[in-house]
A and B are shown apart, each in its own frame.
Chain A
Amino acid sequence: GQQVMQIPQYQHVQEGEDFTTYCNSSTTLSNIQWYKQRPGGHPVFLIQLVKSGEVKKQKRLTFQFGEAKKNSSLHITATQTTDVGTYFCAINLRGNQFYFGTGTSLTVIP
């Protein structure tokens, strides 16, 4: 079935450093969503991207959708300890069925 690869699996950064996670698909996507899961918590929706080449920003977070709509990235500028968690991408399959990436676990060292 269709899959989305997410890298890296883990990332440790010093507070203030930048962070990026990537999702890659072998097929063209109709859209992609990003979620954040804090340690011990549940995933929370961050954003959805639909258009080719789309870039959206939420404060220090920048989300991009590739021109070919096969990849996406989430970039965090100047990480803070509140950014700790696992970031997942999710792609929309048939109807409203979703497939989640394996996630990138972010640790921020104060």
Chain B
Amino acid sequence: DGGITQSPKYLFRKEGQNVTLSCEQNLNHDAMYWYRQDPGQGLRLIYYSQIVNDFQKGDIAEGYSVSREKKESFPLTVTSAQKNPTAFYLCASSSKREVTYEQYFGPGTRLTVT
């Protein structure tokens, strides 16, 4: 089955700890994305990567870091510098179809920091 996997589904951490969220895709997509979703809000872009070893900051990159060492993987680290890290994190990938890019989303990781 082709798709995007995120693990774990639920994650609990103490304040001050860094935590890394996993995102893997076997769709052979070049572009990958990380979004954050808070209740009642849309999806806000944290980071995106168009090719291996390259990534760009989105609207809310502060307190987060990423790497793209392999095409299939795009892990997100939530650092202790992120002031309000509790949220639902969604990873997505895309590949050009017709004129533009349709995004495929993983099931998400719900992070709770106390």
Contacts and interface: CB of A to CB of B under 8 A. Distances in A.
Interface of A: 1, 6, 9, 30-31, 33, 35, 41-45, 48, 50, 88, 90, 92, 95-103
Interface of B: 31, 33, 35, 40-45, 48, 50, 56, 58-59, 90, 92, 94, 96, 98-108
B59 A9 contact: no
Given A95-B50, A97-B45, A9 B102 contact: no
Main secondary structure of the interface of B (DSSP, over half): strand
B60 to A, nearest CB: 12
B100 A42 contact: no
Contacts of A30: 100
> Among A6, A48, A97, which residue has the most Cβ atoms of chain B within 10 A?
A97
Contacts of B56: 97
B90 A42 contact: yes
What 3 A-B pairs have minimum CB-CB distances, sorted nearest first?
A: A42-B105, A100-B43, A102-B42
